Amino acid sequence: MPDNRIKNIIRISFFLLLGIGFIWWFWSKLSDDEKEQMWLALKQADYIWFVLSALITVLSHYIRALRWNTLIESMGYKTGTKDSFLAVMGGYLTNLAVPRLGEVVRCGLLRKKTGIPIEKSLGTVITERAVDLLLFAFILLAALAFEAKTILGYVKGNMNINTDKLYVLSAVAIAVIILCISVFLLLRKRLGSNKIFVKLAGLFKGLWLGIKSITQLKRPVTFVVCSVTIWLLWICGTYTIFLSLGQTSALDFVQAMTTTVTGAIGPMITPGGIGLQPAIFAEVLLVYGISKPVGYACGWLCWTVSQIGTIVLGLAAFVYFASNKKKS
């Protein structure tokens, strides 16, 4: 038990320090003039749009709870939307401290009120993650396709890279990926006892089973619509933040989609995306002619919007479930 606690402390400290490191790294790259520009952008922002973005973000979490209910129903259980919504928020709050622990915590909170076994509800979370990952990949590819001309133009004009060479490098990268997959398939029997292989195979199997289980849902259409709506609301949340700043107000929905999906990489690496998500926003918005300080300010506004609801409703969730006895 003590060993596990030490490991958890080390893991939490590592991810928090990583996030703080990203903040320091990006901040140190800004000149004094750029820092002033960033603070000025934050001061002049229209915070009515900020509030609207916060409400949109909370709505996306509510839709996630509705989607979770469709998975729970497929197992023969029923739960109120309030219970599943607050369990989701409690999980999100936990993830700010310990990445990925929130998935287990939200299942535990739901069990406290409804009696649904954790091992069963945890299976539904795996399905959710599989679908989210699939949609992330699809939207990222769509964003790159829509913005290919702009991105290539930026690369050519600012990075001294010949676009012909870029096409060659892309083709080589695709060829390497195909080769790796082919080797993986050919040698999978020989690699069956390899620990890394077993973990990867288990991951892909879990993702596939999660996606496949959608066909067994009682309301598959509702599940798909909710999944797409969650991403649309995230993009709308970014777009409303764009409208809050004069320098980004002319950006369109597709550009908000590109920024949102690339920014989503942040929470995959640091707790809640702290430090990394704003830095990604700043780098992406450079492609659209937005100065780095303003892009950084925009990123911090988006990050703050996502955390406000998580902290307030997450704390409310723990109070709510603490006041309810576990069902037998």
- Is the pLDDT reported for residue 78 higher than 50? yes
Position of tokens 């995959």? 268
Reported as half-sphere exposure (CB side, CA atoms, 13 A), residue 223 has a value of: 24
**Which of 125, 94, 96, 44 shows the shortest CA–CA distance to 303?**
96
User: Which pTM was predicted?
Assistant: 0.79
Q: Given this model, what pLDDT does residue 89 score?
A: 94
Residue 9 confidence class, pLDDT cut points 50, 70, 90:
low
Percent of the chain with pLDDT over 90: 33
- Is the pLDDT reported for residue 214 higher than 90? no
Give the separation between CA 314 and CA 120, rounded to whole angstroms: 23
Position of tokens 């060993």? 3
- Is the pLDDT reported for residue 243 higher than 50? yes
Q: Given this model, what pLDDT does residue 201 score?
A: 62
Say if residue 234 is exposed, middle or buried (CB neighbours under 10 Å; 0-12, 13-18, 19+): buried
Cβ atoms of residues 69 and 81 within 8 Å? yes
Cβ atoms of residues 83 and 102 within 8 Å? no
Task: Name the average pLDDT for the chain.
Answer: 81
Q: Given this model, what pLDDT does residue 31 score?
A: 79
Q: Given this model, what pLDDT does residue 276 score?
A: 84
SS3 state of residue 161: coil
Residue 328 confidence class, pLDDT cut points 50, 70, 90:
very low
Give tens-digit pLDDT for 291-325: 999 999 999 999 999 889 999 999 999 999 888 65
DSSP 78-147: ---HHHHHHHHHHHHHHHHHSTTHHHHHHHHHHHHHH---HHHHHHHHHHHHHHHHHHHHHHHHHHHHHT
The DSSP output letter for 273 is: G
Q: Given this model, what pLDDT does residue 52 score?
A: 96
Least confident segment among 41-50, 56-65, 101-110, 223-232 = 101-110
Q: Given this model, what pLDDT does residue 119 score?
A: 77
- Is the pLDDT reported for residue 246 higher than 60? yes
- pLDDT top residue among 226 and 144: 226
| Non-local CB neighbours of 50 within 8 Å, separated by 6+ positions | 240, 241, 244, 301, 305
Q: How many CB atoms lie within 10 A of CB 19?
A: 20
Give the separation between CA 161 and CA 247, rounded to whole angstroms: 28
- Is the pLDDT reported for residue 326 higher than 60? no
Q: How many CB atoms lie within 10 A of CB 228?
A: 14
> What does the domain layout of the chain look like in residue ranges?
2-23+47-148+218-322
**Contacts for 212-217 with beta carbons within 8 Å, 24 or more apart?**
213/74, 213/127, 214/127, 214/131, 216/74, 217/70, 217/71, 217/73, 217/74
- Is the pLDDT reported for residue 287 higher than 80? yes
Percent of the chain with pLDDT over 70: 75
3-state SS track over 21-48: HHHHHHHHHCCHHHHHHHHHHHHHCCHH
Give tens-digit pLDDT for 142-183: 988 888 777 766 666 565 555 566 566 666 767 776 777 676
